[in-house]
Structure 1
Amino acid sequence: MSKILKVRNVNDYSRYVGCAEQHPLVSVIDYAEVSPIRHSLNNYSVYGLFLRDDAGVDLDYGCGKYDYNKGTLLCVAPGQVGGKEDNGERVAIAGWALLFHPDLLHGFPLERRIREYSFFDYRINEALHMTDEEHDLLVSLMRQIREELAGKPDGLQQAILVSYIELALNFCQRFYNRQFVTRKIENSDILVRFNSLLHDYFEDKLQLTLGLPTVQYCADRLCMSANYFGDVIKKTTGDTASNHIRRFVIRLAKNGLAAGETVSQVSDRLGFEYTQHFSRMFKKQEGITPSEYCQGLRN
């Protein structure tokens, strides 16, 4: 049975690593001040940004593993499990952590907007690898948050804390966008593998038992989270992964119609449950119905 630390609030984790309580809803930890610490496999009910500067620490996250490199950022959200199970060993680590409870955001626009930061759902092997400048900027923000926490609370403290956190998240989004660009060759390879996967899917007739391929299916087969996969495809092609799948399906449909198959035959072969669903997708993509497309071929 795995030993899991339930991080119901920010200070559950702070107490575990030996950091003094700073605020009921926010905690900033400088690992240099509490290291060495014991490992912990954490079940989070809070948001967390973990900036690790030590290499060679093997961590679990969901079903995967990751070896941290210096300047790596991992973002976690409520409902996720990550870390490494406590085996009694104390390890020296370096870096920073920012944890905040969802209740901190109550009444602020960030409460709704935080769902837009898709990197909270990335897998561990999709963590952010920051440049030295990016690393230093994020650390400076964590220091400012900690200074604010050390001051006397007043009527503006919560708003200031939320503003700092939103600024940190926006910088993280910018850094991830930079990473997508600098890893363009890798991303192009992902697109090639995506197209190959779609080709094999229909070649193996999986659509007849599984239906049309989904973004989640493709992401799983390519060993990525759906969010990260979707972001890579959007940055690489300018379009969504789901639209890419639909365009692939329509190309197959056009080939079948041009070869003399009926609309119903194409619909069945491509795995549509109902012909009208196929016709609706075709018209949405092409602006005409499959029948009108066939008529155009005959003319």
Structure 2
Amino acid sequence: MRTILNFDTIHEYNTFLGIETFHPLISSIDFSKVGKEFKHVRKRYGFYFIFLKQVQCGDLIYGRHQYDYQEGTLVFIGPGQVAGKDDTGEVFRMQGWGLCFHPDLLRGTALGQKIKDYSFFSYQSNESLHMSEREKQTIIHCFQEIKGELEHSIDKHSKSIIVANLEVMLNHCLRFYDRQFITREDVNKGILFRFEEEINLYFDSNKTQTIGLPSVQYFADRVRLSANYFGDLIKKETGKTAQEYVQLKIIDRAKDLLYSPDKSINEIAYALGFKYPHHFSRMFKKVVGISPTEYRAAN
């Protein structure tokens, strides 16, 4: 059986590493200072984990996917996710940096209200952030700033300063991901082209009758990306969310079908995959500005 270590608290993980816990809800770790040797094992984290690997260390299993780490890769893990690899008998020392922070740290803060906006915590490992040397130094500085603050005695200002530094770090990561989307423009355009093909195939093969309305998750799976990464990529390329893009394609199909006088509005709705015709009419009016019946009469 595969072994999975469960770490529900920051202190549990720090104890595993053999390091001191300065704050119960956040830990910034310089792995070069961890003296222990480890064997590979899968781990489930009950908190957010930002992990900077600075050496080549082979394949990481993340969910059901493998990813061959490159030096300077930044990986984001959300609460409840499992990462690591099975024991191969290899013994190693960790290198790089890690930042663990529990969701409770953010409760009652502005960052807590927007943490879900940092969608990279739901990216797959093969969608990790690959940084330039300058970007890497910026992120290492963030690790160091948080670590330095944690090593001070906790006072009434500690939480606000720590959370502010954490938000700065996350915003740098957003900026660097935006750069990564831009520098991979050719790859992204290939994915957008496949997205278009998959949408057309979805309707042409009558999947609407067996699966129903097309979903973002379906198309993300088809191009082998997580729904969040896929959605962010489509937004960067088109200016629209993936959901909006799919809806526009549905409306385009609907307009074509509305030119056929032998199909009722209800029949068109069912043909497009809607369970209830009034849901189709509502979406159509929201996007087009008039109802399907009014559109048909005007054309």
TM-score band w.r.t. shorter chain:
over 0.9
Q: Deviations over 1:258-297 (max 9, x none)?
A: 2444223322222222222222222111112222222222
Residue aligning to 1:121: 122
Q: Does 1:107 align with 2:73?
A: no
CA distance in 2, matches of 1:257, 1:231: 32
State the percentage of identical aligned residues: 43
1:31 offset after TM fit, Å? Answer: 1.9
In the TM superposition, 1:18-33 aligns within 5 A as 18-33=18-33
- Report the residue type matching 2:22 in the other structure: Q
CA distance in 1, matches of 2:24, 2:87: 25
1:25 offset after TM fit, Å? Answer: 1.8
Q: Deviations over 1:226-247 (max 9, x none)?
A: 1111111111000011111111
In the TM superposition, 1:223-262 aligns within 5 A as 223-262=224-263
8 Å Cα contact 1:208-1:269 kept in structure 2: yes
Q: Does 1:180 align with 2:181?
A: yes
Residue aligning to 1:71: 72
1:159 offset after TM fit, Å? Answer: 1.7
- Report the residue type matching 1:140 in the other structure: H
TM-score (norm 2): 0.94
Residue aligning to 1:84: 85
- Report the residue type matching 1:2 in the other structure: R
- Report the residue type matching 2:16 in the other structure: Y
In the TM superposition, 1:1-299 aligns within 5 A as 1-34=1-34, 36-262=37-263, 263-297=265-299
For the residue of structure 2 that corresponds to 1:85, the secondary structure is coil
1:207 offset after TM fit, Å? Answer: 0.5
For the residue of structure 1 that corresponds to 2:251, the secondary structure is helix
CA distance in 2, matches of 1:72, 1:261: 57
1:145 offset after TM fit, Å? Answer: 1.4
Alpha-carbon distance change, 261 to 133 in structure 1, aligned in 2, over 3 angstroms: farther
CA distance in 2, matches of 1:78, 1:144: 23
1:183 offset after TM fit, Å? Answer: 1.3
TM-score (norm 1): 0.94
For the residue of structure 2 that corresponds to 1:48, the secondary structure is strand
Q: Deviations over 1:39-90 (max 9, x none)?
A: 2311111111001112242111111111110111111111111112334421
- Report the residue type matching 1:172 in the other structure: C
CA distance in 2, matches of 1:136, 1:229: 28
CA distance in 2, matches of 1:254, 1:280: 14
CA distance in 2, matches of 1:286, 1:38: 58
- Report the residue type matching 1:99 in the other structure: C
8 Å Cα contact 1:207-1:271 kept in structure 2: yes
- Report the residue type matching 1:126 in the other structure: E
CA distance in 1, matches of 2:23, 2:287: 52
1:137 offset after TM fit, Å? Answer: 0.6
1:103 offset after TM fit, Å? Answer: 1.9
For the residue of structure 2 that corresponds to 1:112, the secondary structure is helix
> Which 5+ residue runs of structure 1 have no aligned equivalent?
none
RMSD: 1.6
Q: Identify the range of structure 1 (255-264 vs 222-231) with the bigger mean alpha-carbon deviation.
A: 255-264
CA distance in 2, matches of 1:258, 1:38: 65
- Report the residue type matching 1:275 in the other structure: P
- Report the residue type matching 1:30 in the other structure: D
CA distance in 2, matches of 1:92, 1:52: 12
- Report the residue type matching 2:179 in the other structure: R
CA distance in 1, matches of 2:181, 2:61: 24
8 Å Cα contact 1:201-1:213 kept in structure 2: yes
1:93 offset after TM fit, Å? Answer: 3.9
CA distance in 2, matches of 1:261, 1:183: 46
CA distance in 1, matches of 2:171, 2:144: 17
CA distance in 2, matches of 1:193, 1:134: 31
CA distance in 1, matches of 2:88, 2:15: 18
Alpha-carbon distance change, 212 to 29 in structure 1, aligned in 2, over 3 angstroms: same
- Report the residue type matching 1:47 in the other structure: Y
> Which 5+ residue runs of structure 2 have no aligned equivalent?
none
